[in-house]
Structure 1
Amino acid sequence: MNYLLTLSLALLIWACGSKAEAPNQTAATDNLNETVVPVRLAPVQVVQRAEPIRVSGLLSSAEEARLSFKIGGIINRTYVEEGQTVRKGQLLATLDLTEINAQVNQAELAAEKSERDLSRVKALYADTAATLEQMQNATTGSRLARQNLTVAQFNRSYAQIRSSVDGTVTRKLMTDGELAAPGAPVFMVLGNRPNDWVVRVGVSDKDWARLRLGNRATVTLDAYLGQVFRGVVTELAGAADPMNKLYEVEIRIDPGKVRFAPGLFAKVQLTPDQSRSYALVPVEAIVEGNGQEGFVYVLTPDRRGVRKQPIQIGYLDGSNVLLTNGLANTREVVTAGSAFLTEESKVKVMGTK
């Protein structure tokens, strides 16, 4: 962002400087030994603004499903491809059940054996040939065997993937014959409900602190040049992403009558509620702008000379620049003629812009 701000300021300052309002584009002379530069002044205005946050991201559905198998195994068959529309509950893939069925059979046999053992111990206990402890151990063993059977049967029922939403398969990460680990995504499915589109973007901690749920946003898409879509902040991450250290923000967008698709590139401008005071000056007043730093010229007390005043640049606002610091108690800055000045220059004020 600093690079773009620097480039924008450099171009604007050059353009404005080339049009500086110096009579005949040359300095006037009051006498043979002193050159006087004619200048114009502009008032410093104090304004309240909420500095916008500009970020970018990809359009997606608010319903995003990462579908995987509960247990590991060899994928027997996948039934859909990328880009295919699916219905909620539709079968997408299955695992090879050879090993899984064997585990279920083992659990069934263990459950049957535990039931037989329990019956024998009960009979022996009734004849006082078995102790109470043996009776309790056999009962516990039978219950454990039944629970293990339940687990095996449950896992077999989830040796398949079914879509959890009505949507579109955006990514197919595995195919037939591959070994799938438990919980490893196999399909990415985005919901396709109308008016359910979001852009997820990452912001710095400084910008995250300025945002609130419900803040407004404007969104432009490269696919629809010239159109502006309205959005609202619906989610703010509670922690930074460990990879990029940014906080994820979700903006829900109203598509109106426009057709959206997952993956469209979006540029987002967020407008926080929190505002602050800025000093507003014309862009041609800025000299030596570099990122968020620069200088302006202000008159000396006798109004015959100038001095350089360092300033902190907030952001561009059309033909003006909003400054965060540097012009306290300053009422005017030099605009036209600033390109020809040094701190040794003598000046003549030609008027106020």
Structure 2
Amino acid sequence: MKAKTNYFSTLIALALLTVGCNNKEQEQEKTQVVKVNVQKIQKVSKVQELDYSATIEADNTAQISFAVPGVVNTVTVKEGQTVKNGQLLASLDATTYSNALQIANLSFEQTLDMYYRLDELYAKGSLPEKDYIDIRTKLAQSAANKRISAKQIKDTRLCAPMSGIITHRFIEKGSAAAPGIPAFSIIKTDMVYAKITVPESEVGIFKQGMVANLFIPTLNDSIKGKISIINPQADDRSKTFTIKIKIDNGNQKLLPGMLAYAKINPMKTEKVIVIPATAVVRDADDITYVYVVNKDEIAVRKRVTVGSITGMQEVIIKEGLSENDTIVTAGQSQLKDGSLVSF
């Protein structure tokens, strides 16, 4: 019985010793001081450069259709094909319209012959004024019918209204066409626009003619353009304004829908927060943050929004930091949120 009591006493002592050691280790870990380098943030003047995401848009987009109904008998182009202004795209069976023109021509000739006869009588005073006006009216109507029939035959041929690229073909040989029903969609791309949206706080900076530098990731190429359109009406939902940058695209490299990044320099300076790039940490969730040291010399993890990179391996911080904050610039790998630091 005495041995059993001694056994339990030993277990309790060991448990208390283990708890004491764990508490001691946690206390040491909690009070462990990490040596770091720090820097106090000061705002600096920098030439303002505004960055935006842009989308390439065609200079002009048109859906074209036949002006008369009929059955398609020829289609000469396909989607993606480049066409020139006036090039034939498709045509309709013109048999009905040819017959109508023939009838209109015969009617016009008959009416014209009658007009010549009655005109002589009218000149001699042998034809009443009413009959003379009537034949002149019939002659004008006959001439109009002739012109209409001639135009209808011309309208059976659908030609490109501008040089561009066929993006959609809605008809095939043998299909029925009708006025107002699109036959083709065509875009004009010798000149394109990069469209950006800007907040109300920035729209007043922009002026027509300002130069913009654009980078096209798909082409891995940079190109210049000029601001040509500033929409004065804000979007009802986002309250942003649309600005379009005009770009010469004679080589047809830029295609509608491509993404671009626009940099615009309004020739003004601004106060910004610039910190060493080494101070910024990116975690596995692609979140960027820095460690800010408070007055108790404790490192606090703070999320930031990073802007552009300067030429001195520094980055501009758009959001997350304030002037006079003290940040850790070296030694972050040993830090956790709440670590005690020394410098």
Aligned-residue offset at 1:176: 1.3
Where in structure 2 are there 5+ consecutive unaligned residues? Answer: 1-27
Contact 1:77/1:176, CA 8 A, preserved across alignment: yes
Query: 1:229 matched to which residue of 2?
Result: 222
Once residues 307 and 229 of structure 2 are traced to their aligned partners in structure 1, the CA distance between those partners, rounded to angstroms, is 24
Q: Report the Cα offset of residue 160 of structure 1.
A: 0.8
User: 2:260 corresponds to which residue?
Assistant: 268
Identity %: 18
Separation (CA, whole Å) in 2 of partners of 1:75 and 1:32? 84
CA distance in 2, matches of 1:241, 1:73: 42
8 Å CA contact retained: 1:215, 1:270: no
Describe how 1:232-271 pairs up with structure 2 within 5 A: 232-233=225-226, 235-236=228-229, 238=231, 247=242, 249=244, 251-252=246-247, 263=255, 266-271=258-263
Deviation at 1:219, TM superposition (A): 3.2
Structure 2 Cα separation of the partners of residues 149 and 288 of structure 1: 77
Task: Count the aligned residue pairs.
Answer: 301
Are residues 1:161 and 2:158 paired?
yes
- Residue by residue over 1:23-68, the C-alpha shift from the partner in whole angstroms, topping out at 9 and shown as x without a partner, is xxxxxxxx9984433332124243433122233548x7x6877654
Radius of gyration: which is bigger? 2
The amino acid of 1:272's aligned partner reads I
Question: What displacement does 1:270 show?
Answer: 1.1
Unaligned runs of 5+ in 1: 1-30
User: Aligned pair 1:333/2:327, yes or no?
Assistant: yes
SS in 2 for 1:335: strand
1:33-44 alignment runs, 5 A limit: 34-44=31-41
Q: What TM-score do you get using the length of structure 2 for normalisation?
A: 0.60
Q: Secondary structure of the equivalent of 2:91?
A: strand
| Structure 1 pair 137–118 and aligned structure 2 pair: CA distance change class (3 A) | farther
**TM superposition score normalised by structure 1:** 0.59
Residues 33, 288 of structure 1: alpha-carbon distance in 2 compared, 3 angstrom cutoff: closer
- C-alpha distance in 1, partners of 2:168/2:31? 74
2:196 matched residue in structure 1: 203
CA deviation vs aligned residue, 1:196-243 (integer Å, no higher than 9, x gap): 855544433539946544422233454x5xx5332313643747999x
2:211 to 194, 209, 215: 215
Quick one: which amino acid aligns to residue 101 of structure 1? Answer: S
Write the distance in 2 (CA, Å) between the matches of 1:294 and 1:119: 98
8 Å contact kept, 1:293–1:313: yes
SS of corresponding position for 2:44: strand
Residue 94 of structure 1 pairs with residue 87 of structure 2 = no
1:178: how far off?
1.7
